[in-house]
Amino acid sequence: MSVIIRVPTQLRQLTAGTGEITVEASTVGEALHALEASYPGFGERIFDEAGALRRFVNVFLADEDVRFLEGLATPVADGVTISIVPAVAGG
């Protein structure tokens, strides 16, 4: 599946300023790892040592936080948007 990943300002230094990257993947986790393959440095920023999402990283599939879905194992459909969003906001 071809999916679009939206990249927040804090990580655009890794993408030469680009805010949207298209990758091939069948799950949310695969998509994020595909991003690391193309733009080294993403992995250590969004995953902790155990390979889980860092606690201040939120990932949304379309409008839903993946923690309400199946996390990194959530399947993705062709053409969907995945957003990486810093958790520290609001309140």
Residues that bind other proteins (CB under 8 A): 6, 8-13, 19, 45-46, 54-58, 60, 63, 65, 67-68, 83, 85-91
Residues forming a β-bridge with 81? 4
How near is the Cβ of 56 to other proteins at its closest, in Å?
4
Cβ distance to other proteins smaller for residue 24 or 48: 48
Residues forming a β-bridge with 86? 57
Backbone angles phi, psi at 11, to 5 degrees: -110, 0
What is the DSSP-derived secondary structure letter of residue 54? P
Contact, 23 vs 31, CB < 8 A?
yes
Cβ distance to other proteins smaller for residue 63 or 78: 63
Cβ distance to other proteins smaller for residue 41 or 79: 41
